[in-house]
Amino acid sequence: MKNKLINIRTEALADVRVAGTIDALEDIRIKYLGRKGALTLILRSLGNVPPEERASIGKLSNQYKSDIETALDDKKNELTHTSSGGMIQKQWIDVTLDRETATARESLGRLHPITQIQYEIEDIVTSMGFEIHDGPEVETDYYNFEALNIPRHHPARDMQDTFWTEDGNLLRTHTSAIQVRAMEKRKPPFRIVGPGRVFRYESTDASHENTFYQVEGMMVDRDITVAHLIYVMKELLKEIFQRQVTVRLRPGYFPFVEPGFELDIHCLICDGAGCSVCKQSGWVELLPCGLVHPNVLRMGGIDPEVWSGFAFGLGLNRLVMMKYGINDIRHFLSGDIRFLMQF
């Protein structure tokens, strides 16, 4: 037994000396000191050693275990120091270099204007008691259409309006699907918003894109009315634009709300005089909204006889266009650094 211990110690120390990486050291530790390691098995078998040898063998085993652990620690420190030194040589950084000099050499990155406005809106709505939710961009027919009371004959289900995949799924056409998923998880009362990228199969122009961003929200509670909806929307827009904005409500049809409205904002590009963004009307369609349809609540497992709510959808691209006076929505996905560097 004693000779076996000596051999284990000798082999272990020799393995440690030639180890070239931290991972190799870990393999050595497991080989000799792990749960099924060579030295560990001897320590576990001390009960089978004759009583007159048990004390000396146990003492020797613990001593050799300590020797191996010390050798492993020393080698690890050596490898760490060598690795750090090599990294410093390869990735040397002058920490005394001032920011202006560094900026002159290399441009600093920044957030996309749509990301900036999304974060700003998230801060505003969370201060109003809303929770932020997320969902997949590739959705099922159920979550994107069926659960939102959009029937089979609705034109949004046509290939001309929606990107469909070969397996019958689709690129979500709105972030309303996030609301359905949230209703399945949350019990009323609740307030949620779901920001994200959406896709429409349509031609592009100054105010339309096939890929754009939305943030949609929903509030479900007892006795919710249109008055609650209008108040929240006006407060949200006031905080976004940091001033009072002129809005108007028009009746609008959306299968998932009843009644439904189109909330238009006075065009901030031309101040109502008429331009390509507002199609010479002086108004920009910004925010579809309405009271949640009872069928949508039922699909989400919520009793419409007890609970009611409102929902809204806000186009982030158009919102940024209004805020910064951008006259063409296609700039956002153009990849033009000259445009993005302005924000």
pLDDT tens digits along 122-134 = 999 999 999 999 9
Q: Which ranges of 34-140 does DSSP label H, i.e. alpha helix? A: 38-44, 51-90, 99-105, 113-127
Q: What is the tens place of the pLDDT at every residue in 8-26?
A: 888 888 888 888 888 888 8
What pLDDT is stored for residue 91 in this prediction?
63
Please tell me which residue, 113 or 101, carries the higher pLDDT value. 113
Please report where in the chains the tokens 């109502």 appear, as a residue: 272
User: Is the Cβ–Cβ distance between 222 and 304 less than 8 Å?
Assistant: no
pTM: 0.62
Q: Residue 341 — very low, low, confident or very high, per pLDDT cuts 50/70/90?
A: confident
What pLDDT is stored for residue 208 in this prediction?
81
Please tell me which residue, 212 or 60, carries the higher pLDDT value. 212
Say how many C-beta atoms besides its own lie within 10 A of residue 160's C-beta.
9
Q: Residue 290 — very low, low, confident or very high, per pLDDT cuts 50/70/90?
A: very high
Specify the 3-state DSSP secondary structure of 17.
helix
Give the start-to-end residue ranges of the domains of the chain.
2-90, 113-340
- Whole-angstrom distance, CA of residue 334 vs CA of residue 194: 25
Q: What is the tens place of the pLDDT at every residue in 240-287?
A: 888 788 888 899 888 899 999 999 888 877 877 888 777 888 888 878
Residue 155 clears pLDDT 80, i.e. is over it: no
Q: Which ranges of 91-190 does DSSP label H, i.e. alpha helix? A: 99-105, 113-127, 141-144, 176-185
What pLDDT is stored for residue 100 in this prediction?
62
Residue 180 clears pLDDT 80, i.e. is over it: yes
Say how many C-beta atoms besides its own lie within 10 A of residue 123's C-beta.
10
The CATH homologous superfamily for domain 113-340 is Bira Bifunctional Protein; Domain 2 (3.30.930.10)
Q: Residue 99 — very low, low, confident or very high, per pLDDT cuts 50/70/90?
A: low
Q: Residue 296 — very low, low, confident or very high, per pLDDT cuts 50/70/90?
A: very high
Q: Residue 183 — very low, low, confident or very high, per pLDDT cuts 50/70/90?
A: very high
Q: What is the mean pLDDT of the chain?
A: 84
Q: What is the tens place of the pLDDT at every residue in 131-145?
A: 999 999 999 999 999
- Whole-angstrom distance, CA of residue 25 vs CA of residue 72: 7
User: Is the Cβ–Cβ distance between 199 and 172 less than 8 Å?
Assistant: yes
